Amino acid sequence: MRYVAIASLLIIGLTSQAVGQTGPAPTNDVVTASRTEMRELIEATQAVAKASRENVDHARVVPDLLYQILTKLDKIEDKLDKVETTLKATQAAASRKR
């Protein structure tokens, strides 16, 4: 474990020195964007924001729906338990009468 930590520190130190020795980026590589490109970027950002809002809304609604479904299933299960209990009691009473 010590060797891994020492090796990683050594690698980080050497790479930071190598990065520090490289020259600055040339200033003539300026990216210019036209109005249409900027508009497309804005529209794409708006689409991403809309999708994110829909995702958040979906994340809020799904647990509520699941809770409602589970509540209904619990009620159905309780009713089935009552029916089974009634059937068993009826069958037991019928078998005693014979």
Residue whose entry in the numeric block shows the structure tokens 């708006």: 46
Average of pLDDT values for 12-30? 60
pLDDT at 46: 92
Q: Which DSSP letter does residue 73 get?
A: H
pLDDT tens by residue, 34-79? 888 889 999 999 999 999 888 888 777 777 888 889 999 999 999 9
pLDDT score, position 30: 53
Left, alpha or beta for 63 (phi > 0: left; psi -120 to 50: alpha)? alpha
Q: Quick one: pLDDT at residue 75?
A: 94
Residue 87 is predicted with a pLDDT of 92
